[in-house]
């Protein structure tokens, strides 16, 4: 077998899809179901609006083009919507910060246009009155992440990929020379010359099993899901503070309203961030903050029932950039993880990059800034190969 992908979320599914399309023999292993981790707890954001100029923005733009292509190939139930995003400012100071941010993005090729108070309400009639203005990003889009992962894996399966669910990887084996030779689960051993670590928040553990190091940490977030509603929110709408929260490394609770509709009717409300390990307990404070902020943006939501609340864990790396590419210590080990809250949006470009690295094909976007080798191990830790 040419490749084993560890992780059946959207990133792992994209790696399997593009590798299988390139003619590689592929197996995907996950300890749970498809999209059973971070992907299944996401809103499906495909965003350029929250990324400052730099390598992640360029990767997001490349990935959005790939998502548009995939939407023509995958079944319609992935719910791909090129709905656009609307970032709003409460006052003139926030608007000034957004204007500077948008100008820098525009210089990098992002489509963006300013909207005054009247323009905001033309786009979103149910927005609260009194907002200072905002910016419209027509490239922002949305997808149903669990279905997208499932459909990518189905397509990979038709190209020969094998899927092993409910099997936790207990070892990444290596040769006496230290090169990857396979993976083990409680049920089987899969021999391979390459392993892709797409294990999301558990990617650090997979790196450790292989004798390497990757400082991935979980960053918890909550999403509120309302009862099904008539079309109410046309875009992905979020407050100016969301951009700063995405870039923050603060471990404490941060909330900023993000509101969007879905084709099925429910409205999704986020976003919160905090580093509390893998604690799944519902935070009343986070939920209350999100509900209050959402009704502040859309007063009509005050009369709407929230049917459920769920949490997920974003795979966080200290510099907020994903790890994409070969491990610096273990030949044959590749990483495709650490995307934090952007993994769904960045999945296709990540998967294509991994496939091209494996096959030696030319890249048409730069993945150098995401090299896992930039993440040096801490003092006193010496990666070692296992067998």
Residue 374 CB neighbours (<10 A): 14
* Per-residue model confidence as pLDDT tens digits over 236-273: 999 988 777 666 667 788 888 899 998 889 999 988 88
* Per-residue model confidence as pLDDT tens digits over 276-324: 999 999 999 999 999 999 999 999 999 999 999 999 999 999 999 999 9
Q: 386 pLDDT band (50/70/90 cuts)?
A: very low
Contact 386, 171 (CB under 8 A): yes
pLDDT of 385: 46
Query: Taking each helix axis from N to C terminus, what angle separates 10-21 and 343-359, rounded to the nearest 10 degrees?
Result: 30
What whole-number distance in Å separates Cα of residue 104 and Cα of residue 85?
A: 17
- Helix (H, G, I), strand (E, B), or coil: what is residue 97? helix
Query: Of the ranges 14-28, 168-182, 239-253, 254-268, which one carries the lowest mean pLDDT score?
Result: 239-253
Q: Which strand (E) or helix (H) includes residue 325? A: strand 323-326
Beta bridge partners of 26: 3
> For the domain bounded by 3-62+145-216+319-374, which CATH number is listed?
3.50.50.60
Contact 66, 348 (CB under 8 A): yes
What whole-number distance in Å separates Cα of residue 88 and Cα of residue 318?
A: 28
Q: Which strand (E) or helix (H) includes residue 288? A: helix 284-297
DSSP 98-131: HHHHHHHHHHTT---EEE-HHHHHHH-TTSPTT-
* Per-residue model confidence as pLDDT tens digits over 190-221: 999 999 999 999 999 999 999 999 999 999 99
- Fold assignment, 82-139+217-315: D-Amino Acid Oxidase; Chain A, domain 2 (3.30.9)
DSSP state for residue 163 in the 8-state scheme? E
Average pLDDT over residues 131-146: 96
* SS3 per-residue string spanning 29-78: EECCCCCCCCHHHCCCEECCCCCCCCHHHHHHHHHHHHHHHHHCCCCHHH
pLDDT of 149: 98
What whole-number distance in Å separates Cα of residue 306 and Cα of residue 294?
A: 12
- Between the CA of residue 286 and those of 141, 260, 272, 281, 304, what are the distances in Å? 26, 18, 7, 11, 18
Q: Which segments of the chain belong to CATH 3.50.50.60?
A: 3-62+145-216+319-374
Residue 382, pLDDT > 80, answer no
Q: Which segments of the chain belong to CATH 3.30.9.10?
A: 82-139+217-315
Task: Tell me if the bond preceding 95 is cis, omega within 30° of 0.
Answer: no
């Amino acid at each position: 077998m040419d490749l084993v992908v560890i992780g059946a979320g959207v990133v792992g599914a994209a790696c399997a899809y593009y590798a299988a399309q390139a003619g590689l023999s592929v197996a995907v292993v996950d300890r749970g179901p498809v999209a059973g981790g971070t992907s299944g707890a996401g809103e499906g954001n495909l965003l350029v609006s929250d990324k400052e100029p730099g390598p992640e923005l360029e990767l997001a733009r490349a990935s959005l083009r790939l998502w548009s292509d995939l939407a023509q190939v995958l079944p319609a139930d992935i719910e791909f919507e090129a709905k656009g995003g609307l970032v709003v400012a409460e006052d003139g100071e926030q608007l000034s910060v957004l204007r500077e941010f948008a100008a820098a993005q525009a210089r990098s090729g992002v489509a963006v246009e300013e909207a005054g108070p009247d323009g905001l309400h033309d786009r979103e009639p149910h927005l609260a009155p009194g907002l200072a203005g905002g910016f419209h990003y027509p490239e922002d889009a949305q997808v149903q992440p669990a279905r997208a992962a499932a459909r990518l894996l189905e397509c990979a399966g038709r190209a020969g990929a094998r899927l092993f669910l409910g099997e936790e990887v207990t070892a990444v084996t290596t040769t006496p020379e230290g090169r990857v030779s396979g993976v083990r689960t409680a049920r089987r051993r899969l021999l391979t010359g390459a392993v892709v670590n797409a294990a999301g928040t558990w990617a650090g553990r997979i790196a450790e099993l292989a004798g390497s190091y990757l400082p991935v940490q979980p960053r918890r977030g909550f999403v509120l899901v309302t009862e099904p509603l008539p079309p109410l929110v046309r875009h992905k709408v979020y407050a100016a503070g969301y951009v700063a929260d995405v870039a923050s490394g603060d471990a404490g609770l941060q909330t900023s309203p993000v509101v969007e509709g879905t084709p099925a009717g429910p409205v999704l409300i986020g976003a919160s961030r905090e580093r509390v390990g893998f604690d799944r307990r519902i935070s009343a404070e986070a939920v209350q903050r999100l509900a209050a902020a959402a009704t502040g943006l859309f007063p009509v939501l005050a009369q709407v029932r929230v049917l459920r609340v769920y949490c997920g864990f974003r795979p966080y790396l200290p510099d907020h950039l994903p790890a994409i590419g070969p491990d610096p210590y273990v030949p044959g080990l590749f990483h495709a993880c650490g995307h934090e809250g952007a993994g769904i949006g960045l999945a296709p470009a990540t998967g294509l990059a991994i496939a091209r690295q494996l096959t030696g094909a030319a890249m048409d976007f730069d993945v150098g800034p995401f090299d896992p080798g930039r993440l040096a191990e801490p003092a006193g830790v010496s990666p070692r190969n296992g067998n």
